[in-house]
C-alpha cells in the first residue's frame, strides 16, 4: 500500500497556501485511509519546509481541531457533497450527500433523510436595496440541474421550506426539518466557499452602485413575474442598423414619434433631476402607428415586443404599482388604453390610478405575518397609447397636471423612413434593440454629466414657463423630454435633429385650463346643454325623466341634491366649486348669504337650488379662447 502511495502526486503548494489558506490541509484531509494520510503528511511536511514553512504537522493538527470544534457545534465538516454534475463540493458534516440523496443518523442511530435527491446552496445574495440575504439553491431531479433563489427565512423554517416543493424539490412535512438542518449545516461550514453576489429586484438607479441591469455580476432576485422583463433588457441585433433607422425616423416621421423616443430616454433623468414621475399619452384612431412608436421607444432599452418590456392596461391598480416599482427608472410602457372599461365609475378609478402612478410612491400594505410590506417607489416616465385621451373635462387637476397628451388623430406614422411601414418597422425593432439605453446611461455616469442634464432641464423649464401660463409640473416634465432629446442627439444620434420648446408647448395644459373649478363650470354647461328635457318640468313629466331644475330668465335653477350628485360622481368637489363661484359671481347667493336659494320650480314645493347665472354660460357669439369663460 505504501508503494502505491508514492505514486500520488502532491499539488505544488506555495508558502502563502500554507500560511494564508486551507487548500493544502483540505487536500490532505480528503484522503481517508489513515496510513495513506500519515505518509502523505510526512511528504507534505518536507514540501512545506522547502518553501519556508516549518511545523506543517502542527498546523494540520490545528486544522483537524477546528473541524472537530465545528462538529461539536452540531455539524462538523466531515463529509463532502458528492453529487454528479455538482458545481462545487461542499463540506456537509455528518450528512452523506451523493447521488442516492442526503442522509444521516439521529441520536438513536436511526437513519434520517433530508432529501432523496441532490440539493445544495451555490450562491449567497445580498439585496442592494434592502440589505436582506437570499440563498440560491441548485437541485437535481433525474439528470437535470435547476437553480432557484429563495429568502433565507424560507429555507430556515420547517414550515416555510415546504414551499420549495412548488419548484420541484422533494420536501414535505416529514423531511422538512431535516432539510432545514442540512442546508444550515452546509452554509455554516462553507460560508466563505459559497460564492457571494449582489442582487436587486428591479431596474434603474441604485444609490452608490450604478444602474441596474448595467452592472457586472448583478443577480435578479425579485418576483418571478418580473424575471422575463428584467432579462429582456439586453442587446440584440445590430446597433448600426438600429441607429440608421432611428435617425431616419427622427428626420422623416414628425414630432410625435420624436417625442416617443425622447420620452423613453427622459425616464432615466427623472430621479437625477429631482422631478416627479409623469405620463406621456399618445392617442388617436387605429392604424396611426402609435403602438409602433411605443415600440421604438422601448427598443432603446429592451425587447420591444408587446407583452415583453411593453405591457397593457389590462391589470389591476396593484399590478401597475408593482410594475412601476420594478421599472423604477426605466419607462413603464402601457399599450391600448381602450381595453379599460369606460364606465364612469371605472374612469374615476382609472384617473385616481394615474394620479397615484405620478406620485411615485406605492401604498403601505400589511404583511400576513404582521408589520408592513416595503413600500415601492419609482421615478420614471410612464408612456401609454390609446384611441382616446386620458384627460377629459372632469379629470382631477392633479392627474391632468402630470400628463402630457399627444394627439395623433388623422396622423399616420412610419410611411417615409428607411425601413418601411409600421409592420416592417415593428419586425425590424424586434430584431434590433437594447444598445442606445446602455450607452446613454454610461454617458450620464461620466464627466459630471448628471449635473449637466439637471442644469439643462432647469434652463429648459424656465424657457417653457416663459412661453405662457403653462403649469410648473407640465413645464418640468416637458423640459425633461427636451433635455433627454438634446443629450441623445449629442451622445448618440449626431444628426442635428432636436425637439424645440415650440414643438412641445402645443401639447401642454395651461393654468387656466387646469383650474378645477373652471372645468367644473364647463362641465355644468355641457350637462345643461346635453339634457334640456331635465330642465323643463313639463317635458320631464311627459317623458318620465328625472328633473334636475329649470331655466329662468337670468338663472338656471339646479336642485341642490342633483347639483351635488352631478359634480360628485364626476370627480368634482361641489363645496369647493360653490366657494369659487361665489367669489367670481357665477352664482347668486341668498339673503342669508348661503350658496343656495329656496325656489318653487313650476309653482311646486320650494326646493333648495343653486342659481347659476345664465351669463356665465358661453354662447355661440362668445369669442373666447379655450378655457376662458365670461364671468
Same domain, 293 and 332: yes
Residues 29 and 154 in one domain: no
| Spatial contact of 243 and 437, defined as CB atoms under 8 Å apart | no
Question: Residue 620: its pLDDT value, please?
Answer: 32
User: 254 and 171, same structural domain?
Assistant: no
Q: Does 46 share its domain with 20?
A: yes
Cell (9 digits) for 179: 432539510
Same domain as 388, residue 262: yes
Q: Facing residues of 495 across strands?
A: none
pLDDT (tens digit, 9 = 90+) per residue, 531-586?
Answer: 999 999 999 999 999 999 999 888 999 999 999 999 888 878 888 899 889 888 89
Residues 132 and 60 in one domain: no
Percentage above 90 pLDDT, the chain: 55
Task: Tell how far CA 148 is from the center of its chain.
Answer: 22
pLDDT, one tens digit per residue, over 401-429 is 889 999 888 788 888 777 888 899 999 99
Q: Distance between CA atoms of 199 and 206, rounded to whole angstroms? A: 11
Report the candidate in 578, 524, 584, 581 with the shortest Cα–Cα distance to residue 556: 524
Final residue of a domain: which of 11, 39, 72?
Answer: 72
- The order of strands in the sheet holding 196-200 is 144-151, 133-141, 119-127, 196-200, 219-220
Taking residues 42-54, report their average pLDDT. 90
Q: Is residue 486 part of a domain?
A: no
In a domain, 509, yes or no: no
Distance of CA 495 to the CA centre of its chain: 32
Q: Is residue 34 domain-resident?
A: yes
Compute φ and ψ for 360, nearest 5 degrees.
80, 10
**Do 138 and 51 share a structural domain?**
no
What does the pLDDT look like over 85-109, one tens digit per residue? Answer: 999 999 998 899 998 999 998 755 5
**Claim to verify: residue 542 and residue 415 sit in the same structural domain:** no
According to DSSP, the β-strands at 101-105 and 96-98 are antiparallel
Q: Is it true that the peptide bond before 36 is cis, omega within 30 degrees of 0? A: no
DSSP 490: I
Helices (H), 73-175: 152-155
**Residues 247 and 330 occupy one common structural domain:** yes
- φ/ψ of 441, rounded to 5, equals -65, -40
Instruction: Kindly state the average pLDDT of the residues 138-142.
Output: 92
Q: Encode 161-185: b = buried (16+ Cβ within 10 Å), e = exposed.
A: bbebeeeebbbeeebbebbbbbbbb
Give the pLDDT score at 330: 97
103 with 61, same domain?
no
- Determine what percent of the chain is predicted with pLDDT higher than 70: 88
**pLDDT tens digits for 534-545?**
999 999 999 999
Asked if residue 442 and residue 324 are part of one domain, the reply reads: yes
Query: Which domain-ending residue is among 20, 52, 72?
Result: 72
Q: The CATH number of the domain where 399 resides is what?
A: 3.40.50
Burial class (CB in 10 A: 0-12, 13-18, 19+), 253: buried
Structural domain for 105, as ranges: 79-198
Range from 68-77, 169-178, 454-463 carrying the lowest mean pLDDT? 68-77
Is residue 396's pLDDT more than 60?
Answer: yes
Structural domain includes residue 604: yes
Q: Are 54 and 90 found together in one domain?
A: no
What pLDDT is stored for residue 469 in this prediction? Answer: 80
Which of 48, 39, 36, 37 lies closest to 11 in space, CA to CA? 48
**DSSP track, 56-88:** HHHHHHHHHHHHHHHHHTT--SBEE-B-TT-SS
Provide, for the chain, the percentages of residues in helix, strand and coil under a 3-state DSSP scheme, each rounded to the nearest 5: 45, 20, 40
Backbone angles phi, psi at 221, to 5 degrees: -130, 20
What is the number of other CB atoms lying within 10 angstroms of the CB of residue 630? Answer: 11
pLDDT at 451: 95
Buried b (16+ CB within 10 A) or exposed e, 217-236: ebbbbbeeebeebbebbebb
Cα of first residue to Cα of last residue in the chain, in angstroms, is 111
**197 SS3 class:** strand
How long is the chain?
A: 631
Report which DSSP code applies to 574: H
The answer to whether residue 138 is domain-embedded is yes
Q: Which residue has the higher pLDDT, 409 or 369?
A: 409
Domain total for the chain? Answer: 4
pLDDT at 69: 64
Helix (H) or strand (E) holding 98: strand 96-98
Whole-number mean pLDDT of the chain?
86
Amino acid at each position: 500500500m505504501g508503494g502505491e502511495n508514492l505514486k500520488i502526486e502532491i499539488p505544488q503548494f506555495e508558502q502563502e497556501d500554507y500560511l494564508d489558506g486551507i487548500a493544502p490541509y483540505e487536500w490532505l484531509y480528503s484522503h481517508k485511509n489513515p496510513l495513506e494520510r500519515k505518509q502523505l503528511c510526512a511528504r507534505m511536511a518536507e514540501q512545506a519546509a522547502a518553501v519556508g514553512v516549518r511545523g506543517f504537522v502542527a498546523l494540520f493538527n490545528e486544522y483537524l481541531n477546528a473541524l472537530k470544534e465545528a462538529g461539536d457545534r452540531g455539524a462538523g465538516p466531515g463529509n463532502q457533497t458528492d453529487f454528479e454534475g455538482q458545481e462545487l463540493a461542499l463540506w456537509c458534516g455528518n450528512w452523506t450527500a451523493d447521488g442516492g440523496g442526503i442522509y444521516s443518523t439521529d441520536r438513536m442511530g436511526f437513519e434520517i433523510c433530508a432529501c432523496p435527491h441532490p440539493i445544495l446552496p451555490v450562491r449567497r445574495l445580498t439585496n442592494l436595496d434592502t440589505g436582506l440575504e437570499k440563498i440560491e439553491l441548485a437541485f437535481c431531479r433525474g439528470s437535470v440541474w435547476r437553480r432557484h433563489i429563495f429568502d433565507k427565512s424560507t429555507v430556515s423554517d420547517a414550515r416555510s421550506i415546504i414551499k420549495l416543493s412548488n419548484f420541484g424539490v422533494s420536501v414535505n412535512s416529514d423531511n422538512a426539518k431535516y432539510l432545514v438542518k442540512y442546508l444550515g449545516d452546509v452554509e455554516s461550514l462553507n460560508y466563505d466557499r459559497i460564492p457571494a453576489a449582489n442582487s436587486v429586484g428591479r431596474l434603474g438607479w441604485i444609490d452608490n452602485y450604478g444602474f441596474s441591469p448595467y452592472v457586472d455580476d448583478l443577480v435578479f432576485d425579485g418576483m418571478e413575474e418580473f424575471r422575463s422583463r428584467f432579462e429582456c433588457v439586453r442587446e440584440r441585433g445590430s446597433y448600426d442598423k438600429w441607429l440608421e433607422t432611428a435617425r431616419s425616423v427622427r428626420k422623416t416621421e414628425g414630432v410625435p414619434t420624436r417625442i416617443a423616443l425622447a420620452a423613453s430616454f427622459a425616464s432615466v433623468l427623472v430621479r437625477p433631476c429631482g422631478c416627479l414621475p409623469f405620463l406621456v399619452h399618445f392617442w388617436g384612431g387605429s392604424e396611426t402607428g402609435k403602438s409602433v412608436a411605443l415600440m421604438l421607444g422601448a427598443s432603446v432599452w429592451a425587447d420591444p415586443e408587446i407583452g415583453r418590456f411593453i405591457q397593457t392596461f389590462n391589470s389591476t391598480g396593484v399590478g401597475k404599482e408593482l410594475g412601476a416599482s420594478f421599472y423604477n427608472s426605466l419607462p413603464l410602457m402601457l399599450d391600448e388604453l381602450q381595453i379599460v372599461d369606460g364606465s364612469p365609475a371605472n374612469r374615476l378609478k382609472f384617473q385616481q390610478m394615474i394620479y397615484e402612478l405620478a406620485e411615485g410612491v406605492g401604498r403601505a400594505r400589511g404583511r400576513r405575518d404582521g408589520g408592513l410590506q416595503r413600500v415601492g417607489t419609482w421615478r420614471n416616465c410612464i408612456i401609454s397609447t390609446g384611441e382616446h385621451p386620458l384627460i377629459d373635462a372632469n379629470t382631477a387637476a392633479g392627474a391632468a397636471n402630470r400628463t402630457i397628451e399627444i394627439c395623433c388623430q388623422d396622423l399616420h406614422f412610419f410611411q417615409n423612413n428607411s425601413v418601411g411601414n409600421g409592420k416592417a418597422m415593428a419586425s425590424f425593432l424586434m430584431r434590433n434593440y437594447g444598445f442606445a439605453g446602455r450607452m446613454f446611461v454610461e454617458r450620464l455616469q461620466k464627466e459630471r454629466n448628471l449635473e449637466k442634464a439637471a442644469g439643462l432641464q432647469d434652463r429648459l423649464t424656465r424657457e417653457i414657463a416663459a412661453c405662457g401660463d403653462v403649469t410648473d409640473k407640465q413645464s418640468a416634465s416637458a423640459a425633461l423630454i427636451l433635455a433627454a432629446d438634446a443629450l441623445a442627439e449629442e451622445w448618440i444620434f449626431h444628426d442635428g435633429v432636436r425637439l424645440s420648446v415650440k414643438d412641445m408647448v402645443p401639447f401642454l395644459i395651461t393654468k387656466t385650463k387646469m383650474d378645477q373649478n373652471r372645468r367644473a363650470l364647463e362641465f355644468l354647461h355641457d350637462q345643461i346643454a346635453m339634457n334640456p328635457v331635465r330642465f323643463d318640468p313639463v317635458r320631464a313629466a311627459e317623458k318620465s325623466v328625472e328633473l334636475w331644475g329649470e331655466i329662468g330668465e337670468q338663472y338656471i335653477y339646479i336642485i341642490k341634491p342633483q347639483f351635488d350628485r352631478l359634480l360628485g360622481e364626476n370627480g368634482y368637489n361641489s363645496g369647493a366649486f360653490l366657494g369659487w363661484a361665489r367669489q367670481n359671481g357665477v352664482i347668486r347667493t341668498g339673503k342669508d348669504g348661503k350658496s343656495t336659494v329656496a325656489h318653487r320650480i313650476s309653482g311646486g314645493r320650494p326646493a333648495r337650488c343653486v342659481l347659476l347665472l345664465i351669463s356665465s354660460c358661453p354662447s355661440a357669439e362668445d369669442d373666447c379662447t379655450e378655457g376662458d369663460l365670461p364671468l
